[in-house]
Amino acid sequence: MSETPPVTLLAEGLAFPEGPVAMPDGSVILVEIAAGRITRVMPDGRKLTVAEPGGGPNGAAIGPDGMLYICNNGGFEWAVDKGFTKPAGTPADWSGGRIERVDPETGKVEVLYTESDGRGLRGPNDIVFDDQGGFWFTDLGKTFHDRTDHGAIHYARADGSLIRTAAWPVSNPNGIGLSPDGRTVYAAETTTGRLWAWTITGPGELAPQSWPEVEHPRLMGPAPGFRRYDSLAVEASGNICVASLRIGGIEVYAPDGPVIDFVPFDDPYTTNICFGGPGLKTAYVTLSGTGRLVSVPWPRAGLKLAYG
């Protein structure tokens, strides 16, 4: 386990921040799920409202048109436990999940997708673009008092012309990312604390699941002990950095599976990581339970994303 690098507090008082996107001007755009808001944190610490789509804006990414693409889970119930804010089920007025396109300059919000293969989206969570203008995203599903939905992995085009379900059922998939060569998609499951790798055979297409010998998707690790996974980011080397709930930190997997490092933070709801700054060697991390965005120097470079 590594020691936590020197932490710089960039913003606090955020309403369960997630989905950080490092911008070229040094600002960070993120979502505040509990406020239904998208916020830009400026280098001087100012917080500017980008848009207020309502519901539960979750994952975020810049697309080929410079627009911000948002996974909106439709909203959560919230609870405060030992001073930490956390999701606590589905609100009575929940009306479904959606993918939104947001103009980061004007704040205009457009609903792009509400269903995939004829089934309504439940809890879109995290998103990553490939270099062909399409994006992969996870649907966590929703938790109710008496049941929990299956989750799924979907693929869609940014122009609104195609969406398809690539993998289903998946157990509450959360973070998603692509390998440096674009041939593998990774997804982290929250409830199981597992990281899986699927082989991509075409835009929105995955190698078929093997049965009964489970060879695909490939289980990474697994890491020892109980954990709950959230979002993830990939390093230029191909390592996968997964935000680990409960134990509070970033778990680093090698591309071939074993966990090679763990960087702790002082919030059990360490939820998201992205890379920016010179050489992509600054990690921006959301500490959601305490409502903070921090940055830390990272020992290895992050992977350059397709856009942004």
Average pLDDT of the chain to the nearest whole number: 94
Question: Distance between CA 128 and CA 190 in Å, rounded?
Answer: 18
What pLDDT, on a 0 to 100 scale, did the predictor assign at position 257? 84
Average pLDDT of span 175-198? 96
The answer to whether the Cα torsion of 261, 279, 294, 41 is positive or negative is negative
pLDDT-derived band at 76, boundaries 50, 70, 90: very high
Question: pLDDT confidence of 234, banded at 50, 70, 90?
Answer: very high
Residue 213 has pLDDT above 80, yes or no: no
CA distances from residue 62 to 41, 127, 282 in whole angstroms, order as listed:
16, 10, 18
- The closest alpha carbon to 153, from 196, 214, 106, 109, belongs to 196
Q: What is the mean pLDDT of residues 208-228?
A: 79
pLDDT digits (tens, 9 = 90+) for 139-149: 999 988 788 88
Task: Give whole-number Cα distances, 50 to 20, 106, 117, 256, 257, in Å.
Answer: 13, 8, 31, 39, 38
**SS3 at position 90:** coil
Percent pLDDT > 70 in the chain is 98
Tokens 């040094």 belong to which residue? Answer: 26
**Residue scoring higher pLDDT (72 or 89):** 72
Instruction: Indicate the pTM of the whole model.
Output: 0.96
Are 84 and 97 contacting, i.e. CB atoms less than 8 angstroms apart?
no
The lowest-confidence range among 59-63, 80-84, 107-111 is 80-84
The pLDDT-based confidence of 223 (bands split at 50, 70, 90) is: confident
Task: Read off the pLDDT band of 212 (50, 70, 90).
Answer: low
Judge whether residue 277 has pLDDT over 70.
Answer: yes
Residue 145: predicted pLDDT = 79
Query: What local confidence, expressed as pLDDT, does residue 210 receive?
Result: 67
Question: How much of the chain exceeds pLDDT 90, in percent?
Answer: 86
174: enclosing H helix or E strand: strand 173-178
Looking at domain 8-297, its CATH class is: mainly beta
Q: Lowest-confidence range among 20-29, 75-84, 212-221?
A: 212-221
Averaged pLDDT for residues 271-284: 98
Q: What is the pLDDT of residue 187?
A: 98
Among residues 291, 263, 296, 306, the alpha carbon closest in space to that of 2 is found at 263
According to the model, what pLDDT value does residue 82 have? Answer: 83
| Token output for 273 | 């990581």
Long-range contact pairs involving 149-156 (C-beta distance under 8 Å, separation at least 24): 149/122, 149/123, 151/122, 151/123, 151/189, 152/116, 153/185, 153/187, 153/198, 153/206, 154/116, 154/121, 155/203, 155/204, 155/205, 156/99, 156/112, 156/113, 156/116, 156/204
Q: Which residue has the tokens 């970033």?
A: 250
- What's the start-to-end Cα distance of the chain, in Å? 32
Q: Model confidence over 139-186: pLDDT tens digits?
A: 999 988 788 888 999 999 999 999 999 999 999 999 999 999 999 999
Residue 211: pLDDT above 80? no
Quickly state the pLDDT bin for 83 (edges 50, 70, 90). Answer: confident
Is the predicted pLDDT of residue 37 greater than 80, yes or no? yes
